[in-house]
Amino acid sequence: MRYLVTGGAGFIGSALIRHLISNTSNEVVNVDKVTYAGNLESLMSVSGSHRYTFEKVDICDADELDRIFRQHEPDVIMHLAAESHVDRSIDGSKVFIETNIVGTYTLLEAARRYWVKLVGERQQAFRFLHVSTDEVFGDLGVSHGRFSEETSYHPSSPYAASKASADHLARAWYRTYKFPTLITNCSNNYGPFHYPEKMIPLMILNALDNKPLPVYGQGLQVRDWLYVEDHCRALCTVVRKGRVGETYNIGGQSEKTNIEVVRILCDLLDEIHPRCLSYHDLITHVVDRPGHDQRYAIDPGKIQEELKWCPQESFESGIRKTVQWYMDNLDWCRKVQNGSYDRHRLGLLEK
């Protein structure tokens, strides 16, 4: 089958493409406009495969999307393209509206125009998977259970609101047009190739540079952590086995406060890369960000029961792999941090 993955140069998208090329016989078309968080070097291990194709296209460009559908004739759409950093959405929300809402609409319509022309088994087998986040559900109290597929939406940030809007569009396209959509809402991902502005890679790299480890407030915000490769396995399971029109929550069942995560990272670095003083001494508490949700927690019971998926990595095993990867791949990190990746982006695209 031929998979069209939007946002394939991003953190989760690139992990998904590496998984598809390395572990299946499927073909993959990567559609990405390569913004600041997109990095084609994350795909170097599979970019030489004859089953991989890259298209530098903005999902808001309807004409280019129509061309891609005509040219590549995909069987599956896995839609991950999105602006995803909460702090950036607070500072400037416009691009989140454009990409996450208008872009999703434009992609849904292009895919629907293509789908209605398919016949027989190809039309019956076609799937559109919209990949979303647990942040659409908003704040979850400390003693209020976990998010299920039936939880009402209460987004707190412009990012979460834009993703909630995209979820509603995907649902409406199924209800109105019988367009074969599926939706997944995942918890916080972590793992290799994560953009350094995100919490876990930021803490690792700051620690290695002996810089402060900034923790919002007291660091008591709770998140459920999911190793990115487990997430990719779940997405592929949903596309193959999920019921059309359904939503599946994907979680790692690894709830941790932010300060717990930072302390675990410090303990690992003290063990793996010791220095004169403990890395714990670098922890610095900073003013909390506006509208910061206290707790997210995913109930993955539906996907576990219906589709027989469960995470293979515990937080302890996954975070150790992650710390080791960043220590072994500092060149990749430095290119992103110092801007040299941005300066060479056009060169990379030409290759």
Each residue's pLDDT tens digit, 115-168? 999 999 999 999 999 999 999 999 887 667 899 999 999 998 889 999 999 999
Cite the DSSP H helix spans in the chain: 11-23, 62-72, 86-91, 94-96, 103-115, 120-125, 158-177, 199-208, 228-241, 258-272, 301-307, 315-328, 330-337, 340-350
Selecting among 32, 41, 58, 134, the annotated active-site residue is 134
What is the per-residue pLDDT across 159-200, written as a single tens digit (0 to 9) for each? 999 999 999 999 999 999 999 999 999 999 999 999 888 899
pLDDT of the residue at 143: 62
Is 109 a residue of the active site?
no
Give residue for tokens 């620690």: 207
Selecting among 3, 52, 114, 159, the annotated active-site residue is 159
Q: How many residues does the chain have?
A: 351
Domain residue spans of the chain: 2-350
Task: For residues 72-95, give the mean pLDDT.
Answer: 88
Contact 249, 147 (CB under 8 A): yes
What is the per-residue pLDDT across 232-273, written as a single tens digit (0 to 9) for each? 999 999 999 999 999 999 999 999 999 999 999 999 999 999
pLDDT of the residue at 142: 66
> Could you tell me which of 157, 146, 150, 149 has the C-alpha nearest to residue 184?
149
Is 134 a residue of the active site?
yes
| pTM, to two decimals | 0.92
Instruction: Dihedral sign for Cα 22, 23, 29, 32, please.
Output: negative
What is the per-residue pLDDT across 277-330, written as a single tens digit (0 to 9) for each? 999 999 999 988 787 878 989 999 999 999 999 999 999 999 999 999 999 999
Selecting among 27, 41, 55, 135, the annotated active-site residue is 135
CA dist 67 to 2, 3, 75, 166, 268, Å? 16, 16, 15, 23, 48
Give the separation between CA 143 and CA 131, rounded to whole angstroms: 27
Give residue for tokens 């994350």: 42
2-350 homologous superfamily: NAD(P)-binding Rossmann-like Domain (3.40.50.720)
| 345 — pLDDT class (breaks 50, 70, 90) | very low
